[in-house]
Structure 1
Amino acid sequence: MQRVTITLDDDLVEEIDAFIARRGYQNRSEAIRDLARAGLGELATTADPERDCVAAVVYTFDHEKRELARRLAAVHHHHHDLSLATTHVHLDEANCLEVALLQGKAGEISHFAEHLMAERGVRYGRLVMVPVEGKSERSDPHGHSHIAQD
């Protein structure tokens, strides 16, 4: 491990210290390491569309919106090769929450998420991608996927 000295303005240090307090970090080094990993991970998935990733798309929608459930299902079926699982929760009479867990190339996952979130009636959507080391292996004889480590 290397020691690195950096200079930060007072406002940024206050934000980092508040983050440390909220999350319960033992020290600034641990927090800054996690923030750096998160930032680098995000850059890795957005900078390289061929990067293997796992992801979650979280979105809420009005299930009473005309044909929306059918359109969302069509988007899922069109990208079935990326899908690991989907969870559907009824929030109230009209609103639902879905979480789609995905695995594949960053560019394909982004494209899928953009299509879901662009549907009329989807009220909120967020994509979280995490790069994985190794290649995404989707053809397993047991019917489930694995991440092959190099």
Structure 2
Amino acid sequence: MQRITITVDDELMAELDRMIEAGGYPNRSEAIRDLTRLGLRDAAAAAGEIRDCVGVLSYVYDHEARDLARRLTTSHHHHHDISVASLHVHLDADQCLEISVLKGRSDELREFADTIVSQRAVSYGELKIVPQPRHTHAHTHAAHGEADGHDEA
């Protein structure tokens, strides 16, 4: 393990200390390690360097906007290879929240998310990417006791 020294202004340190307390971190070092891992993961995802990942795309839109619901559904159908599942929630009389689980390369997920979030009448949108470890073996499901047929290479 490496030891580093950094200089941080008082205001930023106070914010970091509040985050450490709210997050229940045992010390500043663990919080800095978590923030560093998060920043590195986000940078890799933005650069399209993460090959195997899942993503959670959440967005809020006005379901009365002309043809928007149809365009969103069509977009999901056109990306059926990365669109795993969606949850649709009616927030009020006008606004809907959709949460979509995506699976694929980070650049594909980001491109798809950008097409959704950039639609007129989508008022909020965010994609969170979670890298998946690479496995080279098939796994079994306990209930069936047999390989599931999707090797994760």
TMscore range, shorter length:
0.7 to 0.9
Change over 3 Å in CA distance of 1:71–1:77 after alignment to 2? same
Per-residue CA deviations over 1:47-74 (Å, capped at 9, x if unaligned) read 2356322111110011111211111000
Match of 2:6 in 1: 6
Match of 1:80 in 2: 80
Maintained 8 Å contact 1:49/1:108: no
Change over 3 Å in CA distance of 1:14–1:113 after alignment to 2? same
- Unpaired runs of 5+ residues, structure 2, are 136-146
Determine the C-alpha separation between the residues in 1 that align with 2:80 and 2:99. 15
Maintained 8 Å contact 1:45/1:53: no
Structure 1 runs, 4 residues or longer, greater than 3 Å off: none
Q: 1:121: how far off? A: 1.6
Number of aligned positions between the proteins: 144
Maintained 8 Å contact 2:103/2:109: yes
- Unpaired runs of 5+ residues, structure 1, are 136-140
Match of 2:109 in 1: 109
Match of 2:35 in 1: 35
Report whether the alignment pairs 1:134 with 2:128: no
Per-residue CA deviations over 1:76-105 (Å, capped at 9, x if unaligned) read 001111012111100011110001111111
Q: 1:132: how far off? A: 2.3
Maintained 8 Å contact 2:47/2:107: no
Determine the C-alpha separation between the residues in 1 that align with 2:117 and 2:95. 15
Maintained 8 Å contact 1:84/1:102: yes
RMSD: 2.4
The secondary structure found in structure 2 opposite 1:123 is: strand
Identity in percent? 50
Q: 1:142: how far off? A: 5.0
Determine the C-alpha separation between the residues in 1 that align with 2:5 and 2:96. 47
Determine the C-alpha separation between the residues in 1 that align with 2:45 and 2:132. 10
Determine the C-alpha separation between the residues in 2 that align with 1:69 and 1:48. 28
The secondary structure found in structure 2 opposite 1:80 is: coil
